[in-house]
Amino acid sequence: MNDVFYKFGKLEICDLDDLVALEKICFPHAWTEQQFWLCIKQKEYYIFGLKKAGKLAAYMSFQHIIDEIEILKLAVHPAHRRKGIGKRLLGLVLQNCMNMGIKKAYLEVRRSNTAALALYTGFGFVQTGIRKGYYPDNKEDALLFSLNLITRRKD
Ligand X SMILES: CC(C)(COP(=O)(O)OP(=O)(O)OC[C@H]1O[C@@H](n2cnc3c(N)ncnc32)[C@H](O)[C@@H]1OP(=O)(O)O)[C@@H](O)C(=O)NCCC(=O)NCCS
41, 43, 82, 154: which one binds ligand X (CB under 6 A): 82
Tell the smallest beta-carbon distance from residue 92 to ligand X (Å): 12
C-alpha torsion 131→133→135→140, nearest 10: 110
Q: What are phi and psi of 100, to 5 degrees?
A: -85, 0
Residues 91-130 close enough to bind ligand X by CB under 6 A: 109, 113-116, 118-119, 122
| 108 carries an active-site annotation | yes
Question: Which pairing describes strands 6-10 and 55-65: parallel, antiparallel, or unpaired?
Answer: unpaired
Closer of 95 and 150 to ligand X (Cβ): 95
CA angle 64, 70, 71 (to 5 degrees): 115
Q: Give me the catalytic one of 120, 134, 135, 140.
A: 120
Strand segments (E) across 39-103? 45-52, 55-65, 68-76
Closer of 64 and 87 to ligand X (Cβ): 87
Is 133 a binding residue for ligand X by CB under 6 A? The answer is: no
Where on the chain is the footprint of ligand X (CB under 6 A)? 26, 73-76, 81-87, 109, 113-116, 118-119, 122
